Each structure stands twice: as structure tokens, then as C-alpha cells.
Structure 1
Amino acid sequence: MPTPPKTRPARRGRLVTAVLTAVALVAVTGLTACADESAAGDGGKGPLRIGYQRFGGLSLVKARGAAPGVEWSLFESGPALTEALKAGSIDIGQVGEAPPVFAAAAKIPFSIIGTSVPIPQGEAVLVKADSPYRSFADLKGRTIALNKGSNVHWLLVRLLEANELTLKDVNVKYLKPAEGRPAFDNGQVDAWVIWDPYFALAEQPGVRVLADATGLASNREYVLAAPGAVKNRTDDIRAFLQQYRTVTDWGIANPEERASTLAPELKIPEDVTSRALARSAKPLAPVTPAIGDELQAITDSFVTLELIPGPVDIRSRIDDRFSAVLQ
């Protein structure tokens, strides 16, 4: 009988080795994945990732270096910040009262873990000083610019209701703050609904405040958190919120130092910073069932106006486990 080729055992050995190597790699990969998942859920992996907007209380925390070790991400508006929550790129963020509503309607997962006292003077409708508009009702048939899904969106709804107008009575142009200012300055829109500090920056000679949110909207700040962070990093979040509250209270008690600290962070003049802070920097507050009711009423109005799909249960997003540090 012919002698079997000597290469066959070698090939067979190489095949067995390859199989065993593949199995080992799969096992190691699986163990590594399990280790990564465990580390991600142990509440101690990586910095707490904070999303903030220019001017909000979180800007002061950052400017003072009061929360070392956190990772900061700046957003122009609340809707952009909630998109980051959706993407999983931040753990906590601060927004106005409409962004949580639009985010909940979009099925973005988050919990509402904190709020502030009302800040109605911190948002307003601006018109040119030489314009013929003397009340919001005078804007019927005119073009109004605002950031879609931000706090000012709710102010627009309330102003329309108060003046017996509807969305069909005005031409709404959705513009981000960086787009709204030049459109307003160049006369491309008749009015601009905006919040601080953009509001304060636009208060130049030739500009007039037509109306603010007094008696119409609370304009609270809301602190949102990713569910995974709330579950796995409870102590980290509690410690951060304690610092947030401490710095906010310090700023209210020391307005001049607050303005000098925050102006470089905001990259705006100190006098503008002071003016905006005087009306818009308010104490933090815990979330309560009443806050849930307030947000639900806003949500239901947006659903009725078909600005968002419904129904949306935003009350269920309220999480009061951190309320003790925000009292």
C-alpha cells in the first residue's frame, strides 16, 4: 500500500490548532465583553458626563471648577442636548421646560431629577424699537423667529392663547439662536422669542422687549439624567447635584463675583452677564408631583396643537430620589 503523504498529519494539526485558537479567542472576547459591561454598570467607570448650555447654572459650576473630574459638553439649545442623551453621550443635562416634552414625544429615555424656581423674566419677545408693535396681538400675520422645541416655544403657545390667536395667525420661523439674531437684526423677521443670555446680548439700542413670560410660563430649568446613570451612578449624581446647588446658592448670594466669574466662561461682557443673571439666575428646586402636573399640562397642550405626537406621559419621567439635596 502506498505510504500516506507526510503533509496530511501536519495539515490536520494546523487545522486543530486553528480551531482551538478560534474557540479561545471567542472565549476571551466574551469574557472581555462581560468585564466591560460589568465595569460600565458599577458606577465607577469614567467621568460623569455633563451636558450644559451657555449661561445656565451648570456654566457657573464649570467656571468655578467646582466639579473636578467631570466631562463637560456644551450645547446651543435644549433640543440639541436631549439628542445627546438619546445618543448616550452624556449622563446629565440642563434644559428649559419644552425640551423634555419634545424628547419624551420622541421616545428618548431620560428621567427628570431636578428643577428650579420659576424664571419668567428670563425669556422674552423682542422687536425693533421703531416697529409699530405695541402688544403681542399686533404680531398677527407677522413673522416670529424662535428655536423649535426650546422653552420659548411654550412661551409662544401661551402668548397666542392669551391674545386669542392661533399658530395659523402668525408665521413661525424656526431658527437656532445663532441664526435668529442676524435674522432679527437684518429685519428678516418681525420678532424674536429668545432666552438669556442671548436675550441680554440682543438688548441693544433700537431693540424693545414686547413681552416676557410673566404670568404666562414658569420657564423653569430642568435637570435630566440618563436612566442608566440614575441606576448605576446614584451616589455620583447625588454628589454632583449637591455641588450644583452649593454653587448656585453661592452665586445668588454673591452676584458681583458671580458675574466676574461667569463672563469669561460665557465670552460675553460682564455688564451683559450681570443684567442677565439678575433676572435669570434662580435657586434649584426638587421635583414634586406638582412639577409633574405642570409639565404634563405643557405636554398636553403641545399634543392638542399637533406639535408633537401623543399621547405622552411625562409625569412618569419624574424621579424624586435626589430631591433631598435640592431642597
Structure 2
Amino acid sequence: MTNSIRIGVHVNNLSVFTLSKKPELLTDLLQPTGVSAEWISETGGKQTVKLLKTAEIDIGATGTTPPILAQAKGVPVVYLATSQPRPVQGAIVVLENSPIQSVSDLKGKNVSLSEGSYQQHFLAIALDKVGLTYQDVKTIPNSADSLKAFLNGEIDAWITSDLHLAEVQKNHKVKVLLYSSELFSNRSIYFTHRSFAEQHPDALSAFIKALERVDRWIATHFSEAAELLSKEINNGIDAKGWEQSLRNRPWGLVPPSQEFIAEQQYAADVFYRFGLLPNSINVSEALLADPLSVFEANLALAGR
């Protein structure tokens, strides 16, 4: 019997990151289970697959791509919950004077993105929709220098989040080729290892309830949450920028829906066709057998 639930924490999932800074929202819920929370720092969601596979964490919180990669690598993941759709989360951006007018024009161009994140999902299906493949573009990993390279014309297209896009649009002339919301719901995903799900349902239910708590807190304390994030995350975004981003995001969790599973399956199929997965997968195998599982039942009752 485990005495802790190890939760992967990184700055790209604001719900879990904020919960790690307000652990009291989880502590009282875990107390009856005899389990305590352990917060495991990650450099980003791309590290989650490795940590879950090597049993260094019990819960991952990422975008849509990591659980697909994990399943393809043989990790028996289980989807616990997702965020609401995030309509303004991501965008493919080019300079205003760029000759690139559509995704079709990206053929032969270089695109900067965070591979292994939702951005890879976004780019892959965007290319697939216009009859291109991943090999038709040159991908460049996002880095601290990506914005400078993009503005200097060294990068043809840049995939970025709403937070950074808003900052860039204030100071530079850019245009959005495509928003992620035009292709998929781009949700935050919460998942675990199947064995942990089967052995520790009460601890996981407490975690889901705590996520609902922290999301409600953020949604009713935008200014306070923005101040917290601006102090804790050193990314050049001030409290005003954070507050704008928080107000534009949906808060609250939902169980994995059939629509979501279909989106994930389409992405997995495209990844496999593009040679980005070692084998094809059946995403529905990452669901619990009982659709009215303890997680979904507790999620429905958690402040609803």
C-alpha cells in the first residue's frame, strides 16, 4: 500500500502548478485515505511520459500529445479527466509581411514548436487536413531564442500559446494562420498508470476533487492567481498578462468524452501515418472499463 501520491508538476499545467502552491486544497481530502501528496517537479509535460513509465510519478498533467506517446510506448495509461475545450490556447503564427497565407504554404518551410506537446498534435493534424505530411516541413524545437529568430525571419512559422501570442501581438506585426480551436478542443489531460488507478481509487478521487477546488479558486480570484503565477513563474509575463490569459481560459474538469477520445484517436492515427509513433494504438484502451467509474462519479459531484 502506497503512502503517497506522486504528482508531476510543471508550469505548463496551471491547475496542478497552482494546486502545488496551495496544497491545503488537497491535504484534507487525502487525509481519510492515509495517503499524502508528493509534488515532483518536471521541466515540462514532455518529461511526464518518461517519469510515468519509470514509476517516478503517479499522475501526469499535460496537453494531448504525451498520453498518446506514452500509450504507444507500452505504458498502460488511464485517462482520469480533461479540462474544458481551450479555444484560444494555441496558434500558428507568421510575420505580417510573410508570403505564407495558409497552412498549405508551409510546405518546405521551417516551423518552430515544442515537439512532444499539444503543439505537435496541432501541427500534425493541420498538415494532414491540407494533404501535407510532417516530412513536408522542417521542424525546429522551440527555445528561449525562438521568438528572436522568428522576428528576424530565421523561422518561417511559430507555434505558440495564447500567453506569449498576446505579448507578441502588442509589440510586433504578426498574423495568425490558424488557431488550435479550428481543428481540435486542445484540452489539458490528467492521466495515471492503470495499476495505480486500480489500487488507489480513493486517492485519485481526492486529487480530482482538489483540481475542481483549485480551478474554482482561480476562476473566482483571477487577480490573486495572476499575482501568484507572475511571482512563481519566471517567463517575462507580468501579473496583468497572466490575468488576461487566466480570464480567457476555461476552468473546471469533465470526464473523458467520446468526442475527446475520437480526437485523440485521429491524432494517434495521423502520428502513426507520419512515422511519429512506433506502432498504432487504440486510445479507448486507456479508459476505465466502467464508464461510471469512481473518478467520473466523484468528478460529477465535486462542486457541481
Same fold (TM over 0.5): yes
Identity of aligned residues (%): 28
Alignment of 1:65-76 (within 5 A): 65=23, 66-68=25-27, 69-76=36-43
User: Is 1:297 matched up with 2:266?
Assistant: yes
Q: How many Å apart are 1:50 and its aligned residue?
A: 0.8
Aligned with 2:77 (options 110, 130, 135)? 110
Q: How many Å apart are 1:198 and its aligned residue?
A: 4.7
CA distance in 2, matches of 1:94, 1:101: 13
CA contact (8 A) 1:196 1:280 kept: no
1:232 corresponding residue in structure 2: 199
With normalisation by structure 2, the TM-score equals 0.83
Q: How many Å apart are 1:84 and its aligned residue?
A: 0.8
Show CA shifts across 1:269-303 (max 9, x none): 11221232233343211123443333222211211
**Greater mean deviation of Cα atoms: 137-146 or 68-77:** 68-77
User: Is 1:145 matched up with 2:112?
Assistant: yes
CA distance in 2, matches of 1:48, 1:148: 28
Alignment of 1:57-96 (within 5 A): 57-65=15-23, 66-68=25-27, 69-96=36-63
CA contact (8 A) 1:120 1:213 kept: yes
- Give the counterpart letter for 1:52 in structure 2: V
- Give the counterpart letter for 2:225 in structure 1: R
In structure 2, do the counterparts of structure 1 residues 52 and 196 end up closer, same or farther at CA, with 3 Å as the change threshold?
Answer: farther
Q: How many Å apart are 1:177 and its aligned residue?
A: 4.6
In structure 2, do the counterparts of structure 1 residues 205 and 244 end up closer, same or farther at CA, with 3 Å as the change threshold?
Answer: same
Aligned with 1:287 (options 247, 253, 256)? 256
2:298 corresponding residue in structure 1: 325
In structure 2, do the counterparts of structure 1 residues 166 and 52 end up closer, same or farther at CA, with 3 Å as the change threshold?
Answer: same
Show CA shifts across 1:195-221 (max 9, x none): 354545555512523321122121011
1:206 corresponding residue in structure 2: 172
Q: How many Å apart are 1:183 and its aligned residue?
A: 4.1
CA contact (8 A) 1:122 1:276 kept: no
2:226 corresponding residue in structure 1: 259
CA distance in 1, matches of 2:144, 2:75: 25
- Give the counterpart letter for 1:67 in structure 2: L
Show CA shifts across 1:141-193 (max 9, x none): 211011222111111122223444333432222x1454644543554321111
- Give the counterpart letter for 2:73 in structure 1: A
1:311 corresponding residue in structure 2: 280
Show CA shifts across 1:8-62 (max 9, x none): xxxxxxxxxxxxxxxxxxxxxxxxxxxxxxxxxx24x2x3211123142112212
CA distance in 2, matches of 1:191, 1:99: 23
Aligned with 1:272 (options 241, 251, 256)? 241
CA distance in 1, matches of 2:112, 2:78: 30
Q: How many Å apart are 1:63 and its aligned residue?
A: 2.6
- Give the counterpart letter for 2:26 in structure 1: A
CA contact (8 A) 1:55 1:197 kept: no
CA distance in 1, matches of 2:145, 2:41: 18
What 5-or-longer segments of structure 2 have no aligned partner?
A: 28-35
CA distance in 2, matches of 1:211, 1:289: 25
Larger Rg: 1
Alignment of 1:120-159 (within 5 A): 120-159=87-126
CA distance in 2, matches of 1:110, 1:210: 34
3-state secondary structure, aligned to 1:70: strand
Q: How many Å apart are 1:93 and its aligned residue?
A: 1.3
2:6 corresponding residue in structure 1: 49
CA distance in 2, matches of 1:55, 1:311: 27
- Counting matched residue pairs gives 283
CA contact (8 A) 2:128 2:270 kept: no
Q: How many Å apart are 1:235 and its aligned residue?
A: 1.1
**Greater mean deviation of Cα atoms: 62-71 or 244-253:** 62-71
CA contact (8 A) 1:50 1:93 kept: yes
CA RMSD of aligned residues (A): 2.4
Q: How many Å apart are 1:139 and its aligned residue?
A: 2.8
